Structure 1
Amino acid sequence: MAFKLMMSAQGKWRKLGGQNRLPQIIQGVEFRDGLRQLQAAA
């Protein structure tokens, strides 16, 4: 039963976007609502 539920759900999944931003995320760049946030000098 669980297998059939998982297979049904898999057909509705969609690929997430943003693979091109992965290096920026690793560097610690902050994003809000998909937009890069500029950091103010402290």
Structure 2
Amino acid sequence: MLPLSGGHTTAFTSRPTKRLVESAQTRWRAITGAHLAALVRAGAKFENGVLVERQEQAA
């Protein structure tokens, strides 16, 4: 075991960390629209989960 500051070992600190991560994972949601991220970054608009087409403006 590698000693950490304060005399604690990595085994001492990794057990609580593992519990925190496992607890958080039960509340996480998977991103189901990850393939749409590029559209969002490009400025696409969505309404109620549906892509809204841009309307061309007359010049």
TM superposition score normalised by structure 2: 0.48
Percentage identity across paired residues of the two chains: 25
If asked which structure has higher relative contact order (CA below 8 Å, sep 6+), I would say 1
Structure 1: any 5+ residue segments left out of the alignment? Answer: 1-6
Write the letter of the residue equivalent to 2:48: D
Aligned residues: 40
Deviation per CA, 1:7-31, whole angstroms, max 9, x where unpaired? 6564243213210000111110111
Please give the alpha-carbon distance, in whole angstroms, between the structure 1 residues aligned to 2:47 and 2:56.
18
Secondary structure of 2:56's partner? coil
**Is the counterpart of residue 29 in structure 1 residue 34 in structure 2?**
no
Structure 2: any 5+ residue segments left out of the alignment? Answer: 1-21
Please give the alpha-carbon distance, in whole angstroms, between the structure 2 residues aligned to 1:9 and 1:26.
27
TM superposition score normalised by structure 1: 0.61
The list of structure 1 runs, each at least 4 consecutive aligned residues, that deviate by more than 3 angstroms after superposition, is: 7-10
RMSD between superposed Cα atoms in Å: 2.1
The structure having more radius of gyration, on CA atoms, is 2
